[in-house]
Amino acid sequence: MNRMKPTLLIMAAGIGSRYGTLKQIDRIGPSGETILDYSVFDALRSGFERVVFIIRKDIEKDFREVIFDRLEKKIPVSYIFQELEDLPAGYTCPSGRVKPWGTGHAVWTARHHIHSPFCAINADDFYGLESFQHAVLFFKNQGHQGDYCLMGYLVRNTLSDYGSVTRGVCQVDQDDYLIGIEERFHILKAEKGILYRENDQDYPLDENTIVSMNMWGFTPSLFDFLDRGFREFLQENASLPKAEFLLPSVINDLLQRRLIKARVLKSNAIWFGLTYFEDKQKVIDTIRDLVGQGLYPASLWE
């Protein structure tokens, strides 16, 4: 049983090309809160003890002004940079590389900063209080360093009204352990239900399908796996300017090799996030409704 309180690792270094602006610090709450403010608030009241942000160097000034200077008064927080040049010994960043190395690399950059169980989440996704509570309970009952968890959402609760999305479709066994994850692209709502596109063909997707929204629970044992996996990735893909070292792919490989186990914690929470700029007003309205129901204060940090 693990008695260490978990850390929240928030990946906030993404570029967000579909959104068109810096969505990590876009204000959507009634008192100027960002989505990640709500994640930190929910994590704090669920039992997390500190927060580590992964950001880009070029957003540091804005990030400090909008996020960091306020939160550091409420909970121990720190931030680290996801930099293209941060690579294992013996590797250098290829000339002309602009695209970040991916979510697997983002988590790997925290290897020297996290020494307790931790949850990794996206900065621009709203996960809901229930999800953080499930994660804390999992960590309390966790018995092995190789036991991880994934928060699973019903795909019908994770779609945008303004365009298609990509989701990791989960294969889950009868004991709620993850068997594998398969990326499905161009998932959207249609008159006939939920569809995804593959090879220019549309296929139905059951609305109760469990998908990943990139909320993972790990122990520090993950960093050794990421280090080995990232080296293998670089050997094969370093020269490809758009290749990404993605966290779900790493986990999928570890599962197939039976090096880890990952429990799927099913959440009934309604996910929402800032995929497209048009999503912003719906997010603002949803937050306002949650405040009106008394689930969140009108000003989170007063």
> How far is residue 109's CA from residue 127's CA, in Å, rounded to a whole number?
23
pLDDT computed for residue 3 by the predictor: 62
* Nearest-angstrom CA–CA distance, 99 and 239: 12
Residue 302 inside a domain? The answer is no
Tokens for 282, please give them. 């719906």
1 belongs to a structural domain: no
What Å distances lie between residue 290 and 134, 251, 283, 284, CA to CA? Answer: 20, 33, 11, 10
The mean pLDDT of 77-86, rounded to a whole number, is: 94
8 Å CB contact between 57 and 156: no
Span 129-153, average pLDDT: 87
298 belongs to a structural domain: no
Q: Which helix (H) or strand (E) holds 140?
A: helix 129-141
CATH number, position 153: 3.90.550.10
Tell me if 2 is assigned to some domain: no
Q: Could you tell me where the DSSP H helices lie in 3-49?
A: 35-46
Q: Which two tokens stand for residue 223?
A: 């960093």
Domain membership flag for residue 277: yes
Residue type at position 229: G
Residue 33 placed within a domain: yes
Please state the pTM of the whole predicted model.
0.92
Domain count for the chain, please give it: 1
Give the strand pairing for 7-11 and 272-273: unpaired
Q: How far apart are CA 246 and CA 256, in angstroms?
A: 16
- Position 185 in a domain: yes
> Is residue 297, in this structure, part of any structural domain at all?
no
Tokens matching residue 34: 């960002």
Per the structure, the complete domain to which residue 164 belongs is given by: 7-292
Residue 295 has pLDDT above 50, yes or no: yes
Asked whether residue 82 carries a pLDDT value surpassing 50, the answer given is yes
